[in-house]
Amino acid sequence: MSITEPRAAAARVTTPQEVMELCQRQGIQMVDLRFCDLLGTWQHFSLPAEELSDRLFGEGIGFDGSSIRGFQQIHESDMLLLPDAASARVDPMSRVPTLLLVCDVLDPVTREPYSRDPRGVARRAERYLAASGIATASYWGPEVEFFVFDSVRYDQNAHSGYYFVDSAEGAWNTGRDEQPNLGHKLRFKEGYFPVPPADSLQDFRSEAVLKMRQAGLPVEAHHHEVATAGQCEIDMHFATLTEMADRVLLYKYILKMHARAHGKTVTFMPKPVFGDNGSGMHTHQSLWREERNLFFNPQGYAQLSEVARYYIGGLLAHSPALLAFCAPTTNSYRRLVPGFEAPVILAYSQRNRSACVRIPVYSTDPQTKRIEYRPPDASSNPYLAFAAMLMAGLDGIQRRLDPGPPLDVDLYDLMAHNGKDVRQVPGTLAEVLDALEADHEFLLRGGVFTEDLIRTWIQIKRTREVDAVRLRPHPWEFVLYYDV
């Protein structure tokens, strides 16, 4: 992925009056109000366009917070949504002309931003950055990878547990009776850049890009990814933190709807296919003061400034805790293993994709200098993941955390020969939750995250995910142990 300098977004509405004028011009019939639950899934409900008014933008509209994951208890369930006029986009996926409005969540009693609203966390992170005096803005460019399958089936109960995924281009389908089978199946680890017909999803991605651009998402490029069975990537131009998190959720929504319309299904699971590369969300990031990129120094290693090196120091120092938000599922740790281009080494390096932090060197233009943090995946809540990375990087700058020398070697080979001396990312969700519990003071600064949100996050992840997976027999255990 190549990220160019920040670009001016296409003209968008910014006021309630402009939103209502847009609805009239576009013949909008429904307004869809969207907000994000704690774990990162968009929620919504819709209003007839006639209900859109200045009052809605000023006073908000109520909803039941006890029915949303990670939000309220039933005895304190009333919450408010306040639409953000600047988020207005025409939905390219709905048959009925529909306007999408992203909302912030408020407490109805105090009318203050709700502490567990992920979008509120992102907004507070941006305010904290400006107040710190270090920079005026941060820019974010996630590489969101995903699989496009033709079929998925799964179930788990008291006496069985299974999953089946399939793709017409999957390596395992070379012998399938397709009447006729025309071949061109992608071998494991050979999906990166072959032209059609091997890349069977060229038009699928191109059509998805057109839908994204119709919704105002500036797309840079698209391509097939390394894995067989429909692994893809569509890259967006970068944006500020909250704006990019909004875009990631819209991106996922459009892709899932586009796939459904084509009789396919998209997943952002980090590791749905055994034996091939998983899907990450490598996150490019930089700090700016007005028009100056603070990460650029023509004399530094890989043209990095001292500020950038300290930022990297913060990311590496806090990575075990960061991964609780950036790689927040048990499935994330099926991906974070050696041998599949996975970033498992807590080090930084130019060009090297086995390091947790890579410094791209495609260009010497000061505008393009950034660092790429590679452990995140798209099972994360982008508001929380981006905010946590920013807070870790700022802590590194404030405490002048030296990341040490870069490791410009084959880190997998280094790990094989000096495993005990190479610092690696934790290997399970349980470990990173323990790390977050022990190391989260840096997230609390400026009230960006709260103790309540972090405790709630850890409790949900431990009980609903770690314990839920730990308590169930795994299919491979039958292969290993049935005949003991």
When pLDDT is averaged across residues 89-101 and rounded to a whole number, the result is 97
Query: Does 145 participate in catalysis according to the annotation?
Result: yes
Domains of the chain, by residue range, sit at 16-114, 137-481
Query: Does 374 participate in catalysis according to the annotation?
Result: yes
- In 10 A of CB 157, how many CB atoms? 7
Name the helix (H) or strand (E) containing 204. helix 202-214
Query: Does 64 participate in catalysis according to the annotation?
Result: yes
pLDDT averaged over the chain?
A: 93
Q: What is the pLDDT of residue 11?
A: 56
Whether 119 and 46 have beta carbons less than 8 Å apart is answered as: no
Give the model confidence (pLDDT) of 173-202 as tens digits: 999 999 999 989 999 999 999 999 999 999
- Helices 429-438 and 319-326 pack at an angle, to 10 degrees, of 120
Q: Cα(359)–Cα(355) distance, rounded to whole angstroms?
A: 10
Q: What is the pLDDT of residue 94?
A: 96
Q: Cα(23)–Cα(18) distance, rounded to whole angstroms?
A: 9
Query: Does 233 participate in catalysis according to the annotation?
Result: yes
When pLDDT is averaged across residues 332-343 and rounded to a whole number, the result is 88
Marked catalytic residue, from 126, 150, 199, 233: 233
Strand partners, 138: 287
Whether 313 and 442 have beta carbons less than 8 Å apart is answered as: no
> Could you identify the residue written with the tokens 């025309």?
182
What residues contact 184, with CB distance under 8 A and at least 6 apart? Answer: 169, 197, 198, 200
What residues contact 412, with CB distance under 8 A and at least 6 apart? Answer: 338, 339, 354
3-state class (DSSP) for residue 34: strand
> Could you identify the residue written with the tokens 């400034």?
305
Query: Does 44 participate in catalysis according to the annotation?
Result: no
Q: Given pLDDT bands bounded at 50, 70 and 90, which one contains residue 413? A: low
> Kindly report the CA angle at 322 between 316 and 406, in degrees rounded to 5?
15
Give 270's DSSP letter: S
Marked catalytic residue, from 32, 126, 372, 377: 372
Q: Cα(58)–Cα(65) distance, rounded to whole angstroms?
A: 20
Marked catalytic residue, from 84, 143, 246, 276: 143
Lowest-confidence pick of 95-99, 106-110, 421-425: 421-425
- Is the pLDDT score of 2 beyond 50? no
Marked catalytic residue, from 282, 309, 318, 358: 282
Query: Does 225 participate in catalysis according to the annotation?
Result: yes
Marked catalytic residue, from 127, 353, 470, 474: 353
Q: Would you tell me which CATH number, out of the four given (3.40.109.10, 1.10.10.2520, 3.40.50.300, 3.30.590.10), belongs to the domain 137-481?
A: 3.30.590.10
Q: What is the pLDDT of residue 416?
A: 56
Marked catalytic residue, from 64, 413, 451, 452: 64
Marked catalytic residue, from 374, 377, 440, 465: 374
Whether 116 and 454 have beta carbons less than 8 Å apart is answered as: no
Q: Given pLDDT bands bounded at 50, 70 and 90, which one contains residue 354? A: confident
Share of the chain above pLDDT 90, in %: 86
- Residue 270 is encoded by which pair of tokens? 């980090």
Q: Cα(96)–Cα(26) distance, rounded to whole angstroms?
A: 11
Whether 322 and 388 have beta carbons less than 8 Å apart is answered as: yes
Query: Does 76 participate in catalysis according to the annotation?
Result: no
What's 16-114's CATH class? alpha beta
Q: Given pLDDT bands bounded at 50, 70 and 90, which one contains residue 410? A: low
Give the model confidence (pLDDT) of 41-77 as tens digits: 999 999 999 999 999 999 999 999 899 999 988 777 8
Lowest-confidence pick of 198-212, 338-352, 381-395: 338-352
